């Protein structure tokens, strides 16, 4: 079903500069890729220095054990996300972290349905949908991931696969205000391979068409759909900038420092 492009300035390619909305923490990054760091002061660690963010919402997602530490070190307008949470309250689920625990810690965001949990831990579409619904019911904001593999892209089933994953979430969610949808091309995560802006944009556009046809034109126009994978351009936003509506990213260890460097003055340096 054809849809009219959204009128919101969020999707205007000639609007505000492209910015980073949601990022994950870097790990094992070579020193030469790190931004210059001042000598740390003695005593208690200090919060990150404040700098303009151009209206950007930044969310950092460290491992569970570092959530309180990172939350304390980040500037107040930066937020922290857990990388997962359990699907229900309480019970004998050794090793799991509940949504209630995150709320008690003051953690506002959680990532659910990450491709690694889907592929390695066999989380089904329905299970991810249940987790998203439960986290939202407890007041958390959710970065809900949908993913496709290289085999699915080569067989032409990418849109069908991510639509099925999105449908399982949509069947359990009525309010999308606190949901960000993250599309992950699995073959462009941690592999050194890259997706072109056109490939990422194609999936984003099809997801908006799906929302328009199955949820509402309003949700289709306003929901944030982000990209999680390695960029083809350097700086990464040069190519994506020309692609309508693809303006926000979810970046992991291989892309985070290039990402921070490319947005320059729009993001604070975490030092």
Of 123, 130, 184, 243, which is the active-site residue? 184
Phi-psi map region of 24: left, alpha, beta (phi>0 left; psi -120 to 50 alpha): beta
Please pick, among 114, 130, 212, 243, the residue that the annotation labels catalytic: 114
Per-residue tokens: 187: 């073959």
Provide the CA 195 distance to its chain's centre, in angstroms: 16
Backbone angles phi, psi at 208, to 5 degrees: -65, -40
Buried b / exposed e over 224-248, threshold 16 CB at 10 Å, is bbbbbbbbbeebbbebbbebebbbb
Of 98, 57, 64, 60, which Cα lies nearest the Cα of 80?
A: 60
Q: Where are the alpha helices (DSSP H) in the chain?
A: 67-73, 99-105, 115-120, 125-137, 150-154, 158-170, 197-214, 217-222, 237-240, 256-263
Q: Residue 114 catalytic?
A: yes
Active site residue 79: no
| Residues noted as catalytic | 114, 184
């Amino acid at each position: 079903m054809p849809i009219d492009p959204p009128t919101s300035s969020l999707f205007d390619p000639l609007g505000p500069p492209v910015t980073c909305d949601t990022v994950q923490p870097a790990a094992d990054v070579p020193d030469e890729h790190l931004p210059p760091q001042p000598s740390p002061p003695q005593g208690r660690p200090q919060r990150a220095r404040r700098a303009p963010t151009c209206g950007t919402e930044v969310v950092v997602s460290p491992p569970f054990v570092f959530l309180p530490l990172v939350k304390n070190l980040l500037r107040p307008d930066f937020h922290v996300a857990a990388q997962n949470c359990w699907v229900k309250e309480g019970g004998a689920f050794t090793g799991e972290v509940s949504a209630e625990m995150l709320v008690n810690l003051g953690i506002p965001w959680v990532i659910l349905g990450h491709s690694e949990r889907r592929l390695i831990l066999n989380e089904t579409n329905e299970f991810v949908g249940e987790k998203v619904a439960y986290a939202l019911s407890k007041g958390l904001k959710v970065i809900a991931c949908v993913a496709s593999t290289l085999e699915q892209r080569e067989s032409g089933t990418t849109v069908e696969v991510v639509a099925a994953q999105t449908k399982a979430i949509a069947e359990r969610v009525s309010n999308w205000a606190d949901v960000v949808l993250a599309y992950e091309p699995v073959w462009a995560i941690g592999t050194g391979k890259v997706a072109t802006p056109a490939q990422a944009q194609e999936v984003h556009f099809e997801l908006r068409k799906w929302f328009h046809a199955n949820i509402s034109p309003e949700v289709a126009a306003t929901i944030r759909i982000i990209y999680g994978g390695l960029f083809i351009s350097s700086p990464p936003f040069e190519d994506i900038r020309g692609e309508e509506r693809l303006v926000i990213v979810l970046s992991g260890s291989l892309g985070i420092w290039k990402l921070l460097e490319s947005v320059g003055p729009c993001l604070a340096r975490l030092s």
